[in-house]
Chains A and B, each alone.
Chain A
Amino acid sequence: MKKVVLIVALIALMSVSTVSLFANGGKDTGDAKSTVTFWLADYEGIDHDFVGEIAAAFEAKYPEYEMDLVIVDWNALHDKLTTALASGTPPDASVIGTRWLLELMDLDAVVAPGDYVSQSTFDNIAPGAMEAKIDGTLMGIPFAAGSRFMAMNKSLASEAPATMEELRELAIEASKGGDYGLIMPGAKHSELSDFVYYFYAAGGEFFDANGKCIVNSPEGVKALEFMLQLALEDKVVQDGFMAQDRKESHPIFMGGKAAYVMIGAWADTEYGKMNADWDIEYMQIPPFAGNDPAPLIVTDSIALYSDGDNLEGIGKFIDFMYQDEWKAPLDKGMGFPPVTISAAKRPEFQTPMYAAMAEANLNAKGWPLVTGWVESASIIIDANQKALLGQMSAKEALDWAAAEVDKVRAE
Chain B
Amino acid sequence: MENAIGIPKKRRLGGEATLAYALLAPAVLLMLLFMAYPIIYVFVVSLFKTNKLARIQEFDGFRIYGKLLADKENWKVIGRSLLWVITGVTTKTLFGIIIAVVLNTKYRGQKIARLLFVIPWASSIPISVMLWRWVYHTEFGLLNHTLKSLGISANPPVWLGQPISAFLSCMWVDIWIGIPFMALVFLAAMQSVPRTLYEAADIDGATRSQKFRYVTLPGITAILLIATLLSSLWTFNDFNTVYILTKGGPAGTTNILITYVYQNSFEWLKWQKASALSMFTFVILSIVSFLYSRVYFKREAM
Contact = CB atoms under 8 A, between A and B. Distances in A.
Nearest to B133: A248
Interface stretch (B1-9, B98-106, B246-254): B246-254
Nearest to B51: A107
B251 A378 contact: no
Given A10-B23, A382-B251, A375 B268 contact: yes
B158 A240 contact: yes
A79 B52 contact: no
A21 B79 CA distance: 43
A357 B54 CA distance: 40
A57 B31 CA distance: 46
Contacts of A157: none
A388 B249 CA distance: 13
- A: interface residue count bin: 35 or more
A243 B267 contact: no
B158 A243 contact: yes
A186 B161 contact: yes
A277 interface: no
A44 interface: no
A79 B51 contact: no
A385 interface: yes
B282 interface: no
B266 A79 contact: yes
B152 interface: no
Nearest to B15: A3
B114 interface: no
Interface string A368-395: 0000001100100010011011010000
A5 to B, nearest CB: 12
B137 interface: yes
Given A85-B53, A375-B267, A391-B251, A240 B26 contact: no
Contacts of B163: 389
Given A11-B22, A187-B161, A385 B249 contact: yes
A82 interface: yes
B158 A242 contact: yes
The winner among B52, B160, B262 for most chain A CB atoms within 10 A is B52
A252 interface: yes
B90 interface: no
Contact of A86 (B30, B54, B144, B246): B54
A3 B18 contact: yes
B19 interface: yes
A126 interface: no
B225 interface: no
B260 interface: no
A252 to B, nearest CB: 6
A79 B251 contact: no
Contacts of A7: 18-19, 22-23
B52 A244 contact: no
Contact of A79 (B54, B144, B267): B267
B143 to A, nearest CB: 11
Contacts of A374: 267-268
Interface string A10-21: 110011001000
A240 B52 contact: no
Contacts of A15: 26
- B: interface residue count bin: 35 or more
A82 B138 contact: no
A3 to B, nearest CB: 6
The winner among B15, B53, B163 for most chain A CB atoms within 10 A is B53
B140 to A, nearest CB: 8
Interface in B210-246: 246
Contacts of A69: none
Interface string A246-264: 0010011000010000000
A242 B161 CA distance: 5
Nearest to B159: A243
Contacts of B137: 240, 243-244, 248
B201 interface: no
Interface in B48-66: 51-54
A106 interface: yes
A23 to B, nearest CB: 16
Interface in A198-250: 238-244, 248
A242 B138 CA distance: 10
A388 B163 CA distance: 12
Contact of A10 (B15, B22, B161): B22
A41 B181 CA distance: 37
A298 interface: no
A365 interface: no
Contacts of B30: 18
A85 B163 CA distance: 34
A257 B19 CA distance: 73
Contacts of A252: 139
Interface string A77-96: 01100110110000000000
B264 to A, nearest CB: 9
Q: Which 8 A-B pairs have the closest CB atoms?
A: A240-B138, A242-B161, A243-B161, A243-B160, A385-B251, A240-B158, A79-B266, A375-B268
11 contacts: A3-B19, A7-B18, A7-B23, A78-B267, A83-B266, A186-B161, A242-B158, A242-B161, A244-B137, A244-B161, A375-B268
